[in-house]
Chain A
Amino acid sequence: MIEVKSLTKRFGNKTAVDDVSFTVEKGEILGFLGPNAAGKSTTMRMITGFIPPTAGTAVIGGNDIRTAAIAARRLIGYLPENAPVYPDMTVTAYLDFCAQIRGFSGQERKARIEETIEKCFLRDVRHQAIATLSKGFRQRVCFAQSILHDPPCLILDEPTDGLDPNQKHEVRQMIRRMSADKAIILSTHILEEMETVCDRAIIIARGRIVADDTPARLKTRSAVHGAVSLTLKKGDPDNFIARVKTLPGVAGAQILSREGDNWRARVFPEANDAPILQRILSTLSEGEAETSAIFVEQGRLDEVFRSITT
């Protein structure tokens, strides 16, 4: 549905986006991650046709943004960063304007507007001037604009930015519900959001794609992935570590913290699938320490993110 081919953008001699390529199919939600100034918004702006690429192109549902810009834009719903909306209009008037631009008229236009107002929980503020809305509501109005015409491609630049936790949850649910028949790209700085919403994540740093994988597989790149973490009481920590280190399949072990009688330890396997948990358990049963918690680490996205973007 969305094919991005070698998109490149240079501002002066600074390369903001460098040879970025990927495709998003219908039914897929692609998360766009990266540190500030990585080039996420610039990529989205090129796909939506706001700024022309220095090189490369994007093809939306068969329409090249360079040669069939209008046809391509018709298929896109776009929520820009910071959700720009006209402050002097009321919510309904604004959506009416967008619906007319999107080519709806008469009854259908009214129906679209009503439907969108319901979907985005804007009913209470529908006759209020946008200037008087809170930031979160403005964000919702702009989001409403992007889904008004039920586009096959949705491009959302930080869609939950500025929303309260309930609304964040609602918007994520809505994005997931809509995803069945849409190709969706969303950028976010919230790793947990990426994990719950996206089927696939692209991490971009300094304009280049540095990772393109599912969130679950990204996590396996974490150094702690597969490690066994334990919270214990009493016993002899140093002795425990020494013994655990001799177990087959264990690459290393360390004490994370000690507080009085309580201490925490982590045991790293040689390979992700090494069966070390059972051996650790039997080691524990031989000692006098009391186990209060034990679990296998899934890996931490923030750690993966940091290690591949710096």
Chain B
Amino acid sequence: MKANNSLSNIHAIMKREMAGYFGSPVAYVFLVIFLMLVGFFTFYISNFFEMGQADLQGFFQWHPWIFLFLIPAVAMRLWAEERRMGTIELLLTFPITIWEVILGKFLAGWLFIGVGLALTFPMVITVGYLGNPDLGAIFCSYLGSLLMAGAFLSVGAMTSSLTRSQVVAFIIAIVICLFFILAGFAPVTNVLSGWAPAWLVNMVSKMSFLSHFMSIQRGVLDLRDAVYYLSVIFFMLFVNGVVILNRRTS
């Protein structure tokens, strides 16, 4: 009867975190804000209807900016709360590895964001109604957006492990995410290319969430972009683990 395996442990952690999300009104507020922001940017700023195009580029192009503020909010409680309440002491003395806990928490946050993304499906219905969209491309964009969200989330999870204060975790996450976004933003790369060697400009812009999202928002999911986001996730969660292992108390 004893199923002492990693999957069951990760599942237990995930289930608890999901219950934490949906057990509080904050989750619903978050989802509503997300949907409202997405709608506002797509319809009013991108002028979705006037564009006369049956694709969702005007919808996906805003995701990095919306994620910038909303995902650190999703991530901030993951570890900071455990520290503040002292429950981290029990969590780390359970017979499970730190990596199972990290993965469980991360996947819960990712799933939650996935739910948010899934709730934007009326967008797809709208373009389907307006024209004849490439559903495969839309699916790729969704997948890419989810991957990018994962990268944002891993940054937030990492900063959350640094402190017992959710607010501090939130702010540091935004700063780091902003760096990741701006690294590929044209004004920044232009400034940089004025004096920096080409390889540096190239490297910095390759670090960017934005430049890897360019083709994704048009519906092309390049393997390299996927690998990039996954490596960011992997790296951030690794740092997350190192932080937890080195700063268990306080």
Query: Are the chains A and B members of one assembly?
Result: yes
Q: Which chain A residues have a beta carbon within 8 Å of chain B's beta carbons? A: 45, 48-51, 70-71, 73-74, 76, 78, 80, 82, 84-89, 93, 97-98, 100-108, 142, 145
CB–CB B95/A105 < 8 A: no
CB–CB B95/A84 < 8 A: no
Q: Report if A105-B92 is in contact (Cβ < 8 Å); known contacts: A88-B19, A100-B12.
A: no
Q: Which of B11-34 contact A (CB under 8 A)?
A: 11-13, 15-16, 19-20, 23-24
> Please, which residues of chain A bring their CB within 8 A of the CB of B95?
70-71, 73-74, 101-103
Q: How far is the CB of B102 from chain A (nearest CB, A)?
A: 15
Alpha-carbon distance between A297 and B87 when the two chains are bound, in angstroms: 45
CB–CB A97/B93 < 8 A: no
> Please, which residues of chain B bring their CB within 8 A of the CB of A84?
85-90
CB–CB A101/B9 < 8 A: yes
Q: Which chain B residues have a beta carbon within 8 Å of chain A's beta carbons? A: 1-4, 8-9, 11-13, 15-16, 19-20, 23-24, 85-90, 92-97, 248-249
Closest 4 A/B residue pairs (Cβ): A84-B86, A100-B12, A103-B4, A74-B95
Q: Report if A49-B1 is in contact (Cβ < 8 Å); known contacts: A82-B86, A84-B87, A89-B19.
A: no
Q: How far is the CB of B22 from chain A (nearest CB, A)?
A: 10
The number of A-B residue pairs with CB atoms under 8 Å apart is: 83
Alpha-carbon distance between A78 and B89 when the two chains are bound, in angstroms: 10
> Please, which residues of chain B bring their CB within 8 A of the CB of A106?
1
Please give me the residue from chain A that is nearest to B1 by CB atom.
Answer: A108
Alpha-carbon distance between A103 and B11 when the two chains are bound, in angstroms: 11
Alpha-carbon distance between A84 and B13 when the two chains are bound, in angstroms: 16
CB–CB B16/A145 < 8 A: no
CB–CB B93/A78 < 8 A: yes
Please give me the residue from chain B that is nearest to A73 by CB atom.
Answer: B95
CB–CB B93/A50 < 8 A: yes
Q: How far is the CB of A101 from chain B (nearest CB, A)?
A: 5
CB–CB B3/A45 < 8 A: no
Alpha-carbon distance between A227 and B3 when the two chains are bound, in angstroms: 60
CB–CB A88/B90 < 8 A: no
Alpha-carbon distance between A140 and B247 when the two chains are bound, in angstroms: 28
> Please, which residues of chain A bring their CB within 8 A of the CB of B15?
97, 100
Alpha-carbon distance between A217 and B145 when the two chains are bound, in angstroms: 70
CB–CB A48/B93 < 8 A: yes
Alpha-carbon distance between A103 and B96 when the two chains are bound, in angstroms: 10
Q: List 29 A-B contacts (CB under 8 A).
A: A45-B89, A49-B92, A50-B89, A50-B92, A50-B93, A50-B249, A51-B248, A70-B95, A71-B95, A78-B93, A80-B86, A80-B90, A82-B86, A84-B86, A89-B16, A89-B23, A93-B19, A97-B12, A97-B16, A98-B94, A100-B12, A101-B12, A102-B95, A103-B3, A103-B8, A104-B1, A104-B2, A105-B2, A107-B1
